[in-house]
Amino acid sequence: MAILINCAGFLDPKYPSLSETALEDFEKTFRTNTRGAFICCKEAAKRVVRGGGGRIIMMSTSQVGALSPGYGIYTASKAAVETMVRVLAKELKGSQITANCVAPGTIATEMFYAGKSDETVKMLASASPMGRIGEPKDVAEIVGFLAGDGGEWINGQVIRTNGGLVV
């Protein structure tokens, strides 16, 4: 079974408002997050063996549900990824290839910590119903499930992996 997992992403660590986002930053965000995902989806749909039970898994963000100020361009770029994956799942009808998104929330990665104060990180950890910032393994286990036999009946979905915290 062939599996494609795309987890590339760019988030401007300045967290600018929409009106303060430089056109260059907008273009970089969409080039990385949306165009990159499009190319991966396009090529995976051609290359993953039809009838072989393949998996296409894209990364989005729980910010698509939270809609937090300062994340506008990032969120818009990932919302486009979610839409593409949902359409792709329907376009792959009959191929036994699934297409899904995993949408992490606050996960302890360089991208999450960039531009955030220790105070902000502590506030986000304490606001989480789980009482902590997520770990990469929390996301990896969901991706592993979707990539395996257990994910066969999950298709065209967005799974928000955020410990219950949507900020």
Give the catalytic positions in this structure: 74
Taking alpha carbons only, the member of 82, 94, 129, 124 closest to residue 107 is: 124
Beta-carbon count within 10 A of 31 CB:
12
Instruction: Supply φ then ψ for residue 103, to 5 degrees.
Output: -120, 85
Bridge partners for 6 per DSSP = 58
What's CA 89's distance to the chain center, in Å? Answer: 16
Helix (H, G, I), strand (E, B) or coil at 13: coil
DSSP 3: E
123: phi then psi, degrees, rounded to nearest 5: -65, -45
In what order do the strands lie in the sheet containing 98-104? 3-6, 55-59, 98-104, 158-161
